[in-house]
Amino acid sequence: MIHKISAEPRVSEKSARLPTLAGIFYPSEAEGLKAALARFFDATVTSVSNPKGILVPHAGYLYSGPAAAVSYSRITPDFDGTFVLIGTSHQGYTNSVSDIDWETPIGIVKADTEFAAAVNLPLDNTAFRRQENSLETQMPFIACRFPQAKITAILMGDQSPQGAASVAAAVLCAVEKTGRNIIVVASGDGSHYVPAKKAETDDLTCLAALKNLDVNAFYDALYAIQPSMCGYGCLAATAEIGKALGASETRVLTYTTSGDASGDYESVVGYASAEVI
């Protein structure tokens, strides 16, 4: 008798989003990942300030993990609200929101489905299942340090001032509807594949323009300098949200480059950590 072979289980609309970068951008084994995250946090000397938002890089942990830990260390580990993650879409998807959980090697990061439903952006869970380091690299940090928190993930394909304004407005509307305590995570890397000196000068000059949460000044600096930054719109949206929630400035916490890990300072990627407070 011939038995029909069962098809592989299909991912449903509400299935947890599976890791696509484990073993590439960060360790795939739970113990190795926990050990790496512990090293990053143990090496971070900072105090809790509970900002309205943070800027976190999204490269492989060897390169950007220490800078990412600096930003997350500003938040108390018992935070039990909602992280609103805004990540640039490297795949070119339009601005959208997701309401699915994210699986990591060290546990599930739960979605705040009520908050996601209140965000006035298209829901597109399919787009979020694609390989996307801007969001996936954040999840192990959250799973490790903030086990009581939930997340709402947003993809930004439109990094323009108008795109940033629309994302900020959608998030703020959701805050008003739900009353959630949120912290925004802007996922972004600095200049790409330029000498370290140029990367640092260009990136920090642009970030300085956002010190007083003046998004127009920030875009003016971007247009003038033309840095090869990734996720600047995510940071602009975070600044707008933070300002509406009572923040008054952007503070740069640390700046590193890939050269600090590789030893190659001729062609680097910049990694800034910052808080909106």
Q: What is the pLDDT of residues 174-232, one digit of tens each?
A: 999 999 999 999 999 999 999 999 999 999 999 999 999 999 999 999 999 999 999 99
Give the distance, in angstroms, between the CA of residue 265 and the centroid of all CA atoms in the same chain: 25
Q: What is the pLDDT of residues 1-55, one digit of tens each?
A: 333 433 334 445 679 999 999 999 999 999 999 999 999 999 998 999 999 999 9
Longest dimension (CA), the chain: 74
Instruction: State mean pLDDT over 92-98.
Output: 93
| E strand map for the chain | 53-56, 82-88, 96-98, 102-104, 107-109, 150-156, 182-187, 192-194, 250-257, 268-276
Which domains occur in the chain, in start order? 34-276 (3.40.830.10)
Q: What is the pLDDT of residues 244-275, one digit of tens each?
A: 999 999 999 999 999 999 999 999 999 999 99
Residue of 219, 220, 181, 226 whose CA lies nearest to 51:
181
Q: What local confidence, expressed as pLDDT, does residue 9 receive?
A: 41
Average pLDDT, the chain: 95
**Is it the case that residue 150 has pLDDT exceeding 80?**
yes
Q: What local confidence, expressed as pLDDT, does residue 92 receive?
A: 85
pTM of the model: 0.94
